[in-house]
Amino acid sequence: MVTNSLSHDRTNEVVSISKELIRMETGQSLENFGVSDELGTLLLIQYADNDQDGTSDEILFQPKVTANGQAKFNIKLLGKSEKNPENENICFSRFVPERTDDYAWENDKVAFRTFGPTAQKMKEEGVPGGTLTSGIDCWLKKVEYPIINSWYKKFESDPNAYHIDTGEGLDNFHVGISRGCGGLAVKRNEEFHTSKNFISYETRSNGYMRTSFALNYAPWFSGDSAEVALTQHISLDRGSQLSKYVVQVSGTDELSAGLTLHENDGQITIDSLGGWISYYQPHGDSYLAMALVASPGTFSGSEKIVTDEKDLSHVYMHVAVQDGKAEYYAGFSWLESGQFEDEEAWFTYLTRFSAQIKKPLDVAFE
């Protein structure tokens, strides 16, 4: 039974069923099971192998539950002639060696990328094409199907190809040395200090419901000889505008996630009670909305920094580190995608998103 305690319908949240909750007989695996609704219709699902041992650990699905309502689902042993509905890897991420060494991820709404050690080395050695930043880049897609592979394929023939909108969207988001959309910093002595590019990665899952992966960063000093070490565990669910960041960190009791202010011509909105920050800005001939949302109980303030130094104007959300871990969400919406009609619709989304992570769907097993 899945229960929704909030006053709006919920359709885009992932529910996990771990293998320990299913009474499997010898020789069975999670792939022998599906999830059906009360009418017996098999639902779209994803099997996830979180520890990469070759065996699925959980089944993921997205229930539809009405406002203040309940919905019942069945974990079903598939018959010999039964198959789960076909699906594709809507939620997808991968390492991209053909473009130096990006790591890119996407779902049906948004796409992102960040940059690896080869790009850093090229920049430090003055080789053209290098990139030195741990900021997060936004790819502004306006189609629901995956675009990462096709855009990088175009790049191989024409490095400018994905900077031109041919109907699917484009990359016209400038990162530079900024935090982009959700990159991290540590504040020391009134200055913000950042890591360099990620040094290694681990792809954990791709599928219809969720992509997840980890990025490791070399330890770095944050201005007062305190060494900071962190690993970002990032996931993106189907239907979500925001990636989830679970950061394992040592050397600081607070992290600062940033949104670049670009030309500083947008509107910053801060909801301390809801634990979110929005930056709504003109972008080309359209508008771009970025946001940060803190996990419940971890929002510890915000700060706007405006400077004449290129790429260093930001609004930051400070996030408390608890037991060596910080959690937050970061993402965006592009007006051209048609996902939100205006800033108020974006605010409604963020308010509901914040409420949902404070009161997750309640899942009870019989």
Neighbours of 285 (CB within 10 A): 7
**Distance separating alpha carbons of residues 348 and 334, to the nearest angstrom:** 16
Helix (H, G, I), strand (E, B) or coil at 146: coil
In this prediction the pTM is 0.96
**Distance separating alpha carbons of residues 315 and 260, to the nearest angstrom:** 7
Q: Residue 135 in contact with residue 171, Cβ under 8 Å?
A: no
Q: Give the DSSP letter of residue 119.
A: H
* Domain spans, the chain: 1-82, 92-358
**Distance separating alpha carbons of residues 262 and 267, to the nearest angstrom:** 12
**Is 1.10.4030 the CATH classification of the domain at 92-358?**
no
Q: Residue 269 in contact with residue 317, Cβ under 8 Å?
A: no
Cα distances from 230 to residues 42, 58, 196, 250, 360, in angstroms, run 40, 26, 12, 7, 27
pLDDT, one tens digit for every residue, the chain (366 residues):
999 999 999 999 999 999 998 888 888 899 999 999 999 999 999 999 988 888 899 999 999 999 999 999 999 999 988 999 988 899 999 999 999 999 999 999 999 999 999 999 999 999 999 999 999 999 999 999 999 999 999 999 999 999 999 999 999 999 999 999 999 999 998 899 999 999 999 999 999 999 999 999 999 987 776 899 999 999 999 999 999 999 999 999 999 999 999 999 999 999 999 999 999 999 999 999 999 999 999 999 999 999 999 999 999 999 999 999 999 999 999 999 999 999 999 999 999 999 999 999 999 998
Cα distances from 18 to residues 161, 286, 365, in angstroms, run 42, 43, 11
The structural architecture, per CATH, of the domain 1-82 is: Sandwich (2.60)
**Distance separating alpha carbons of residues 60 and 142, to the nearest angstrom:** 25
pLDDT at site 139: 97
**Distance separating alpha carbons of residues 26 and 326, to the nearest angstrom:** 39
Q: Residue 65 in contact with residue 360, Cβ under 8 Å?
A: no
Question: Which residues are CB-contacts of 278 (< 8 A; sequence separation ≥ 6)?
Answer: 267, 268, 269, 270, 289, 290, 291, 346, 347, 350
Q: Which spans in the chain are helix H?
A: 117-124, 148-157, 343-358
Which two three-digit tokens encode residue 102?
């990006």
Helix (H, G, I), strand (E, B) or coil at 96: strand
**Distance separating alpha carbons of residues 268 and 235, to the nearest angstrom:** 26
Q: Which of 280, 313, 275 is nearest to 294 (CA)?
A: 275
Sign of the torsion angle spanned by Cα atoms 258, 261, 266, 267: positive
Give Rg (Cα) of the chain: 21
**Distance separating alpha carbons of residues 270 and 278, to the nearest angstrom:** 7
Which two three-digit tokens encode residue 109?
């709404």
pLDDT at site 226: 80
pLDDT at site 223: 76
**Distance separating alpha carbons of residues 105 and 95, to the nearest angstrom:** 9
Helix (H, G, I), strand (E, B) or coil at 145: coil
